[in-house]
A and B are shown apart, each in its own frame.
Chain A
Amino acid sequence: QKEVEQDPGPLSVPEGAIVSLNCTYSNSAFQYFMWYRQYSRKGPELLMYTYSSGNKEDGRFTAQVDKSSKYISLFIRDSQPSDSATYLCAMSEGSARQLTFGSGTQLTVLP
């Protein structure tokens, strides 16, 4: 079993929909939680970064971390076609440098 599990999708939604992306993990030592967005043939781009449990909001994006359930989520409000990409969750223990990634969820937002 992988340390981080992420539904690979693909996920297809209409423009304007609310998108929910999730990851579960088994390593209780994870403290830093991130969401990256990766467009085709590009490197991952950091979207959200959270330390420990709680919520964080940035524009249309909200990240939630529930350490008791070992579950993290990313919500995208008012989704746009430009949000079409692969979304990767990532997490780490004492340092944010050695990241363990989920397999990524491929999202398509239809105009």
Chain B
Amino acid sequence: KAGVTQTPRYLIKTRGQQVTLSCSPISGHRSVSWYQQTPGQGLQFLFEYFSETQRNKGNFPGRFSGRQFSNSRSEMNVSTLELGDSALYLCASGARDPTDTQYFGPGTRLTVL
């Protein structure tokens, strides 16, 4: 069974630009969560999507948004990039039951110059 895939793996942008990251969950999983990982703040929850609906949202500004498609693939968008947005963005895939745990992808490393 294929794992969680994230594209692209590496990305370099400049301040003020916007970026879109993509995540394909494990086959059959309908929940996709996004996390930001930085050396200073660690891993922080961004939001979760289930069946195309955002169910939970972390404490991030509105510049961070996402969506999920009918095939469960998810995209995350960050507008008006800031230097502090440089991070590893991780996507996690979960099954139907909310008590089931999540499986993480390899992440997209975003560098903002």
Contact = CB atoms under 8 A, between A and B. Distances in A.
A32 B99 CA distance: 8
A34 interface: yes
Given A32-B99, A49-B101, A95-B99, A101 B43 contact: yes
Given A43-B4, A51-B99, A99 B107 contact: no
Contacts of B48: 97-98
Interface residues of A, number: 23
Main SS of chain B's interface residues?
strand
A98 B57 CA distance: 9
Interface in B57-113: 58, 90, 92, 94, 98-107
A95 B98 contact: yes
A100 interface: yes
Contacts of B92: 97
B90 A96 contact: no
A43 B109 CA distance: 11
Which size class do B's interface residues fall under? 20 to 34
A99 B35 CA distance: 9
Contact of B105 (A34, A43, A51, A102): A43
A32 B90 CA distance: 20
Contacts of B90: 43-44
B106 A98 contact: no
Interface in A79-103: 88, 90, 94-103
A97 B104 contact: no
Contact of B43 (A42, A46, A88): A88
Interface in A56-111: 88, 90, 94-104
Nearest to B58: A98
A21 to B, nearest CB: 15
Interface of B: 4, 31, 33, 35, 42-45, 48, 55-56, 58, 90, 92, 94, 98-107
